[in-house]
Amino acid sequence: MITCYAVLHYVGHPFAGWQRQASQRTVQGEIEGVLERLAGQRVVTHAAGRTDAGVHALGQVVSFKIPAKWKPADLHRALNALLPKEIWVAEVGPAPAGFHARRDAASRRYRYVVGCDPASRSPFRHPFEWALGVPLDPQALAEAAAALPGEHDFRAFSAAGQPKRHYRCKILLAQWEARANGEGFIFTIEADRFLHRMVRFLVGTMVDAARGRRPPSDIARLLNSDSNAEASPPAPPQGLYFIGARYPKLGKDLGL
């Protein structure tokens, strides 16, 4: 057996998230089903990040073991021939023995897309962004995001009911940029780890600040809170994309 990685693109709305579930269609279930067919035995995959239902990926990294007869180029072609149309494999490569897409990731990056113009409600756009359809204050967005870089406790921006060993994450990048033609904004965030729904809670709270519903300084204040009760509702999943991860063990970044 050899260890490989694959970089996946997928549309999130047909799936109940990444993680395999007994009674629902998931990305992991589709990938492992095809790999089992090719390997002639059960293949377990590990993803850099477990995306929720409706969340997309432009650089999801997956690791797995496969019989040595499969060369990466041949496996790449076979996967794209057999996977459903909602999933596309951008790259397959060899990895060192023991490589694990989640444990070996030094950081992960996400992108969130917000649509502020009326055309964001177009059927060709709203499945892939938050079709907000109202203007946002770019200065408020920038001020809110400026509080994020560094290491903080993000308990106030995580889903309740899932106890963690700790809630600290180190944010390496957090920035908003305007889209062309007044279409809205894109938020990019990179961290060593993310909590469940953390990016969506952050975006929902920052967007409320940019709509004048709360002060941008609330982000910094909530970083000292031990509850998510005061955070805004999480932004919808269809605007969120897993972009890629950094792997010192491979000597390269994947998907970024």
The string of pLDDT tens digits covering residues 67-115 is: 999 999 999 999 999 999 999 999 999 999 999 999 999 999 999 999 9
169 and 132 in a single domain? The answer is yes
Report how many domains make up the chain. Answer: 2
Q: Of 104, 124, 139, which residue sits at a domain end?
A: 104
Whether residue 229 is contained in a domain is answered as yes
- Using CA atoms, how far apart are residues 86 and 75, in angstroms rounded to an integer? 18
Q: Which of 52, 104, 117, 218 is catalytic?
A: 52
Supply the CATH number for residue 91's domain: 3.30.70.580
66 and 139 in a single domain? The answer is no
| pTM for this entry | 0.95
Whether residue 10 is contained in a domain is answered as yes
Domain range for 13 is 2-104
Supply the CATH number for residue 125's domain: 3.30.70.660
Three-class SS state of 197: coil
Cβ atoms within 10 A of the Cβ of 190, count?
A: 22
Whether residue 153 is contained in a domain is answered as yes
The average confidence (pLDDT) of the chain is 96
pLDDT at res. 170? 98
Bridge-based pairing of strands 56-66 and 240-247 is parallel
227 and 189 in a single domain? The answer is yes
Whether residue 255 is contained in a domain is answered as no
52 is catalytic: yes
pLDDT for 226 beyond 90 = no
91 and 112 in a single domain? The answer is no
Cβ atoms within 10 A of the Cβ of 173, count?
A: 13
The string of pLDDT tens digits covering residues 163-208 is: 678 889 999 999 999 999 999 999 999 999 999 999 999 999 999 9
Written as one string, the DSSP assignment of 41-99 is S----EESS-PPTT-EEEEEEEEEEE-TT--HHHHHHHHHHHS-TTEEEEEEEE--TT-
